[in-house]
Amino acid sequence: MKGYFKSPPFFITVGILVFVGIIYYFSKDKYYIEYTDSSQIKIVNKWQLPRVLEEISGISYLDEERVACVQDEVGDIFIYNLVSERIENRINFADNDDFEGITTIKNKAYVLRSDGNLFKIDDITVKNPKIEHFKTNLSYKFDFEGLCYDKKNNRLLLAAKSNGPGNENRFKPVFEFNLATNTLTEQPVFELTYDNPVFEGLENAGSAKIFRTSEINIHPKTGEIYMLDGVIGKLLILDKNWNAKDLYIFNPDDFPQPEGLTFSPEGKMFISNEGEWDPANILEVELKGPPKEKNQKEFDSLTQ
């Protein structure tokens, strides 16, 4: 066997692998992006999550000790205790599927499936809660990931990761679901486009990849809308009228795949990251003013 590692076939094999690796590296669609200076984004607390939440896709604040979580491919709500750092309850609401977002209204929960369908869990504190399934008839091509409760307008907001079918203007839509009538408004309540100065410098990513929404929420004190990008971590802040104000671009060492965002009633912000090389986590995050200086980082321009 030792002789093989000195033989021509061995060196030929190594040469082929190196050649293929070089070709792959230089043929990938790459672009440069600058991420926000770390002094502007403070991580106050960090909770490493158990393996069952490795693909955590949405979180919703319950109280000072607990958050409700969903994860890709599992039809369960996980109640995670921030004090004991353990899952204290698990509520099944559907067969396993692609679940991407969760929001809670007191003891009631709504979960978003990637095709835009909604599941209402009537009371997450009881053993066998009543479950309702709302079909929105939206296209699965939108690849929905963001869900939040808009208390002021008594509605849910559903944010799409992709442009969807027949979208020549290349925008990412946000739809509203009326909680009084349990119906979806056919036209988007908001269309995320990229003609705002906050997106300056991201043109090389291509319009479909500048921002791929993974979450949406509303700040309880300011009424501003917060939107996450989970592919190349970004946080977009819009005012009450949906005008883009600030764009934070996260250092991937701290935010490898931000998929969930929730607030406490006082405005504390929590962001969850799917696991990659490290365990999934929930971070308590403070923003130290608008983004200023940035550091350059090269990313693979992903196609998802």
Mean pLDDT of the region 181-203: 87
Residue 146 has pLDDT above 80, yes or no: yes
In this model, does residue 303 exceed pLDDT 90? no
- For the chain, the domain total comes to 1
Q: Kindly state whether residue 14 falls inside one of the protein's structural domains.
A: no
CATH number at residue 208: 2.120.10.30
What pLDDT was estimated at residue 30?
Answer: 41
Residue 206 banded pLDDT, cuts 50, 70, 90: low
The pLDDT, as a whole number, for residue 62 is 98
pLDDT for the residue 24: 40
Is residue 159 in a domain? yes
Does the structure show a pLDDT above 70 at 4?
no
In a domain, 13, yes or no: no
- The answer to whether residue 11 sits within a structural domain is no
Average pLDDT of the chain is 86
Q: Give the domain extent around 194.
A: 31-300
SS3 of 5-50: the string is: HHCHHHHHHHHHHHHHHHHHHHHCCEEEEEEECHHHEEEEEEEECC
How far is the C-alpha of 204 from the C-alpha of 201, rounded, in Å?
7
217 - beta bridge partners?
226
pLDDT band at 299 (very low <50, low <70, confident <90, very high): very low
Q: What is the pLDDT of residue 295?
A: 47
Residue 18: pLDDT band (50, 70, 90) is low
Q: What is the structure's pLDDT at 196? A: 79
Domain assignment present for residue 15? The answer is: no
Tens of pLDDT, residue by residue over 58-112, are: 999 999 999 999 999 899 999 999 999 999 999 999 999 999 999 999 999 999 9
pLDDT digits (tens, 9 = 90+) for 183-193: 999 999 999 98
Residue 166: pLDDT band (50, 70, 90) is confident
Q: pTM of the predicted model, to two decimals? A: 0.85
50: left (phi over 0), alpha (psi -120 to 50) or beta: beta
Q: Which pLDDT score, from 0 to 100, does residue 5 have? A: 52
Classify residue 48: in a domain, yes or no: yes
For residue 161, which of 220, 234, 90 has the smallest C-alpha distance? 234
Phi-psi region of 100 (alpha: psi -120 to 50; beta: other; left: phi over 0): alpha
- Residue 158 included in any domain: yes
Distance of alpha carbon 101 from alpha carbon 158, whole angstroms:
9
Q: Which residue has the higher pLDDT, 302 or 40?
A: 40
Q: What is the pLDDT of residue 202?
A: 75
In this model, does residue 34 exceed pLDDT 90?
no
The C-alpha angle with vertex 200 and arms to 195 and 205, in degrees rounded to 5, equals: 90
pLDDT value of residue 124: 97
- The pLDDT tens digits for 269-297 are 999 999 978 999 999 999 987 776 454 45
In a domain, 173, yes or no: yes
Q: In whole angstroms, what is the distance from residue 257 CA to residue 214 CA?
A: 9
